Amino acid sequence: MEINYAILIPVILVVVILIIYLIRKNRKDKNRYEKETIEAETPPEKHDKDRV
């Protein structure tokens, strides 16, 4: 059984590109999630009663 490199190489390239894309997207989503979580955990600033 021979390996058809004309098909195998493009398939491997597509898989590698897909993995790289998913890793980058995951990092962006993680950073966005962490930022939103930190912002949600910080208490709102107290209002000054004199300045209404």
Give the tens place of pLDDT for each residue, 6-47.
999 999 999 999 999 999 999 999 989 888 888 887 666 666
- What is the Cα–Cα distance from 33 to 22, expressed in whole angstroms? 16
Residue 52's pLDDT band (cuts 50, 70, 90): low
Q: Write down the pLDDT at residue 1.
A: 76
**Is the pLDDT assigned to residue 50 strictly greater than 80?**
no
The total number of residues written for the chain in this structure: 52
